[in-house]
Amino acid sequence: MSLEISGITKAYGGLVVLHDVSMTVGTDALVGLIGPNGAGKSTLFAVVSGFTRPTAGTVRFEGRSLDRLAPSARVRLGLARTFQVPREFQHLTVLENLCAAAPRQSGERLWTLCVRPGRVRAEEEAIHQRARGWLEFLNLARVADARAGTLSGGQKKLLELGRVLMLEPRMVLLDEPFAGVNPVLIGEIAERIGELHRRGIGFVIVEHHLQALSALVKDLYVMDRGAILAQGSPQAVLADHAVREAYMGGVA
């Protein structure tokens, strides 16, 4: 099974941001997506996750077309994403942020809340237990009761990942998980991603920290000016002359 991106083009008037982008990524993949600023990486994520409609092209996930599906429907199919700037509920606790992300909560419906309070309480307890499990996994248990807005940049990245994990995804689009994060937490985030991949979750990761990314992923795609420029192992891609020219200005 795979994520299939076929001929995606996105234009804003006369400005073409994505031009005929195609890539196929297995749902068990661990893939990086790099490129200079303005290459179209975040726009591609927005198209794949349903926040932006393409001008042309199609997206399929596990054999099903996503073209007419809203972001929430894509999440229910197992395709989730994070954002470059974390979007936590700042005034809720870390634990409450994870619990709020859990889908299909009976307590969100007034009828169930009034008629079946026992069911709602049992479900909420199960959600709390699952959230606490993910906080332990992400090494955030010690700040479970802290307000999310007080976390460091790296902790907020881990919290963002935890909220996505509450959605039970099969594939996650990660947008710059290492940006603004200190080196110790970069290593910790990378370890958690690697472990989640071993548990069967696929990842496509946009990131500018090439050293950390190339040590983590098995395959790299490079975008430049809205198109795929190269694809292959991190070592081969980063040694490619065209990639060095486009992404690093030819610097060795």
Please give, one letter per residue, the 3-state secondary structure of 173-241: EEECCCCCCCHHHHHHHHHHHHHHHHCCCEEEEECCCHHHHHHHCCEEEEEECCEEEEEECHHHHHHCH
Which pLDDT score, from 0 to 100, does residue 251 have? Answer: 41
pLDDT along the chain (252 residues), means of 10: 94 94 94 94 97 97 96 96 91 95 61 54 82 96 96 94 95 94 92 96 95 94 95 93 75 38
Chain position carrying tokens 């932006």: 52
- pTM given for the model: 0.88
What are the CA-CA distances from residue 183 to residues 121, 186, 188, 210 (Å)? 41, 5, 9, 13
Which pLDDT score, from 0 to 100, does residue 68 have? Answer: 93
Residue 75: count other Cβ atoms within 10 Å of its Cβ: 19
> What are 139-182's pLDDT values in tens digits?
999 999 999 999 999 999 999 999 999 999 999 999 999 988 99
User: Hey, what long-range contacts does 192-196 have (CB within 8 A, 24 or more apart)?
Assistant: 192/137, 192/138, 192/158, 192/161, 193/30, 193/161, 194/30, 195/137, 196/165, 196/172
Domain covering 2-87+167-248, topology: Rossmann fold (3.40.50)
- Kind of pairing between the strands at 171-175 and 56-61: unpaired
Which are the contacts of 40, defined by CB distance < 8 A and separation ≥ 6? 10, 17, 18, 21, 223, 225, 226, 227
Give the C-alpha separation, 22 to 24, whole Å: 7
Which pLDDT score, from 0 to 100, does residue 102 have? Answer: 84
Domain ranges of the chain: 2-87+167-248, 89-150
Contact 217, 190 (CB under 8 A): no
Which pLDDT score, from 0 to 100, does residue 16 have? Answer: 95
